[in-house]
Amino acid sequence: MRADTPTAELYSTLERLRAAWQANKPGYAQRRDDLRRLRAALKRRLDEMARTIALDFGHRSLDESRIADGMTVLNDIDHLVRHLRGWMKPRRVGVGWRFLPARAQLRPVPLGVVGVIAPWNYPVNLALVPLATAIAAGNHACLKPSEHTPHTSAFLRELLAEVFPADRVAVATGGAEVGAAFAALPFDHLVFTGSTAVGRKVMAAAAPNLAPLTLELGGKSPALVCDDYPIDKAAARIATGKWFNGGQTCIAPDYVLVPAGKRDALVEALRGEVRARYGADFDNPGDYTRIINERQYARLQGCLDDARQRGIDIVTLGGSADPAQRLLPPTVLLEPGDDARVMQEEIFGPLLPVRSYRTLDEAIACINRRDRPLALYPFSHDRARIERILHDTVAGGVAVNDTLLHFAIAGLPFGGVGASGMGACHGRAGFDAMSKLLPVLWQARRSGADLLRPPYSKAKWLIDLIVR
């Protein structure tokens, strides 16, 4: 496996990418060709990709990798290619009657070099989607994959070297020291996906350069089950969202709010989902992803230890923990208080707090006491109730009566708000974020504005007209 990138090389790499971009800014044909070649290279190596990610996790469902790190990237690239020509065109903007016959437009122009800092939980998806978007917008790019997935980082370096020349896309690998130096580079735009705590450090590192940022962070994303929604169906969809990738998903349901009289039924329905998915006694956990490393496993065990000390009921839904494999089974924690660790920090694992509520007002207040979440999952067939929840809360994104899937819709912007992030990726929103929407005014041969000059007494009639 290749050695880490020396920090001394990072700035010269950025300068090489920028000089090449300045000399030959990518047009439509090159952008489209780059995206198609990236898609073909990844599609050809999907099985290898899934096996490589599994090496980093110890065990990760190959099918979940094909879905989350394969399908989503292919889908986003398809969307970019399909819409690229239209997005690149200048967009007409009305000037208003006072400035006629001038005309105006917004012209999407590339920024230069985009930096991408990717996390470990979806190490291909969250590296290649922003990188592909940067390419679509006409930029060159530099990727910093996570040091916690070294095999996947090597795979990405090899894949991208196969597709792109070295002066168009570069990859920097290494630990925290390399990551800190990377974030401090004067990129024309920087995309970071990861925790809120690290996001603050990235923002501080980028501040001296005034580098524009897209921060995709996390937080405590709630599922709110209303009393009209079938408990079995809610349990099935929450189980998918929570235990996909072993709960190591920034938009996984982080806690569930359920009507008080239906709490125990929800827990039993969740137990049934675990039994159906992973075996009667969790004896077939082949499709269940392990925790990424010892540090994360110990952190999650610390959350459970804290809950035990507080007397919180802990319900293991199948099997038992196996530290040797870093296997932590799906676990529900009943009625944790706001002071419990599982309610203080993003869980990022298979632990699911379940809290009961008496009124919808109480449930909404519980959500609004916390930082604005990256995702919100309301479950109800009552449209008025859903509209009320959407009106009374603020979240980065919403999936009504489901979980996770809004992320996979390429046409929907994906991003947080406040502590859960800033800016957005995916589709046109990402394309626009990695472009400069250049305002251009085209003045006519003859313009009334030519009369607006001293002595103003000669243009009094025109001034009276435009200030009416």
Residue 263 sits in a domain of what CATH number?
3.40.309.10
pLDDT given for residue 418 in this prediction: 93
Residues 197 and 345 in one domain: no
- Residue 378 contacts residue 344 (beta carbons within 8 Å): no
* Residue 32 banded pLDDT, cuts 50, 70, 90: very high
> Does the annotation mark 142 as catalytic?
no
Residues 265 and 309 in one domain: yes
Do both 66 and 154 map to the same domain?
Answer: yes
Instruction: Assess whether 382 and 253 both reside in one domain.
Output: yes
Answer whether residue 143 is part of any domain.
Answer: yes
* The pLDDT value given to residue 451: 86
Same domain, 156 and 250: no
H or E stretch at 452? none
- pLDDT tens by residue, 72-92: 999 999 999 999 999 999 999
Residue 106 located in a structural domain = yes
302-311 burial, b at 16+ Cβ within 10 Å, e below that, comes to ebbebbeeee
% of the chain at pLDDT higher than 90:
93
Which entry of 250, 273, 346, 425 is annotated as an active-site residue? 250
φ and ψ at residue 299, rounded to 5 degrees: -65, -45
Is 242 found in the same domain as 167?
no
What CATH number should be reported for the domain holding residue 119?
A: 3.40.605.10
Tens digits of residue pLDDT in 147-170: 999 999 999 999 999 999 999 999
Q: 216, 226, 273, 425: which is the annotated catalytic residue?
A: 216
Token couple for 333: 């924690």
| Coil/strand/helix, residue 94 | coil
The total number of structural domains in the chain stands at: 2
Query: Is there a domain that residue 109 lies in?
Result: yes
Asked whether residue 414 is assigned to any structural domain, the reply reads no
Give residue 145's identity as a one-letter amino acid code.
Answer: P
Whether the upstream peptide bond of residue 323 has omega within 30° of 0, thus cis, is no
Is 134 within a domain? yes
The pLDDT value recorded for residue 1 is 55
Q: Over the stretch 7-25, which tens digit does the pLDDT of each residue have?
A: 999 999 999 999 999 999 9
Asked if residue 271 and residue 146 are part of one domain, the reply reads no
pLDDT at site 286: 82
Say if residue 348 is in the same domain as residue 433. no
Average confidence (pLDDT) over 44-61:
96
pLDDT in tens, 405-453: 999 999 999 999 999 999 999 999 999 999 999 999 999 999 988 888 9
DSSP letter string, 164-183: S-TTTEEE---SHHHHHHHH
Q: In this structure, are 327 and 371 located in the same domain?
A: yes
Range of the domain at 289: 222-408
Is residue 255 located within the same domain as residue 381? yes
**pTM of the model as a whole:** 0.94
Domain assignment of residue 459, yes or no: no
Query: At 436, phi and psi to the nearest 5?
Result: -100, 115
Same domain assignment for residues 47 and 12: yes
Binned at pLDDT 50, 70 and 90, residue 283 comes out as: confident
Mean pLDDT of 243-263: 96
How far apart, in whole angstroms, are the C-alpha atoms of residue 372 and residue 415? 12
- Co-location of 110 and 61 in the same domain: yes
Q: Is residue 446 part of a domain?
A: no
In a domain, 413, yes or no: no
Residue bearing the bigger pLDDT, 253 or 464: 253
pLDDT in tens, 114-144: 999 999 999 999 999 999 999 999 999 999 9
